[in-house]
Amino acid sequence: MGGGAKDIRRRLERAAEVRSYRGAGISAEEEAALDALDAQEREKRKKVSDAARAEYLVRDAMAQGKFDNLKYAGKPIPGLGERYDPDWWVKGLIQRENLSGLGPAAILLRTEDAELDARLDAQYTEQQVRDILQDFNRRVIDARRQLQGGPPVVTKTRLVDEEVVRWRERRAARPAEAPPEPEPRHSWWQRLWKGTG
C-alpha cells in the first residue's frame, strides 16, 4: 500500500476514534477539544490533493475488481487517435442503430451504386429497369450540383442502354424459374367430406 493510502487509513481510524468518544458521555471541555481535533482533521483532508485522492480511489476500485471485464479490455478503443469529426455522434448513431437512408448524399449514392445490379435484377420489365436507372442518374447529377459540404460525390452515372443490355444478359443466364404448381382442386363433396368447406 502506498504512503497516501496509509495516511488516509490512519485519518479514518482517528475519525472513528473521535466519534466513539463522543458517544461515551464526555464533558463540555473534552467535547470542545474533540471539536478542535475534528476541525484540524478536516483541514488536513482539504490539503490532500485531488490527484492523491483520485489515485487512492482508482487503486481501491482495482483491488475490488471493478475494472475487470470491461468492454474494451485489451482492445483498442474505437475512434481514439483519429482527428476530430464534428458529426461523430450522428455517424455513431447511424452505425449503432443500423439506420439506412440517412447521411450525406455522396455516401448514400455509393451504397446504392454497389447494390444497384441486384435491385435491377429483381425487376421484371425493361421499362422498370430504365426508370430506376434514370432516377439514379438524376440523383447523382443533383448531388454533384449541390455544394453543401461533406464528402465529394464520386459515384458515376450509368449508361442506361448498356445497363439494360447487361440486365438482359444476367436475366438470360439465370435458370428458368418454374411457376409453383397449383393445389389440386377438390370437388364440392370432397371439400365437404374433409371439412374444408
Alpha-carbon distances of 96 from 80, 90, 112, 115, rounded to whole Å: 17, 10, 20, 21
* H or E element at residue 129: helix 126-145
pLDDT digits (tens, 9 = 90+) for 110-122: 888 989 999 999 9
Low-confidence stretches of the chain (pLDDT beneath 70): 1-3, 18-26, 28, 148, 176-183, 195-197
pLDDT of residue 191: 73
pLDDT digits (tens, 9 = 90+) for 50-88: 788 888 889 988 899 888 888 888 888 877 777 877 777
pLDDT of residue 193: 75
pLDDT of residue 197: 47
pLDDT of residue 164: 93
- Cα gap 158→170, rounded to integer Å: 17
pLDDT of residue 165: 93
pLDDT of residue 25: 66
pLDDT of residue 167: 92
Q: Where does residue 29 rank: exposed (0-12), middle (13-18), buried (19+ CB within 10 A)?
A: exposed
- Cα gap 154→114, rounded to integer Å: 13
pLDDT of residue 71: 84
pTM for this structure? 0.44
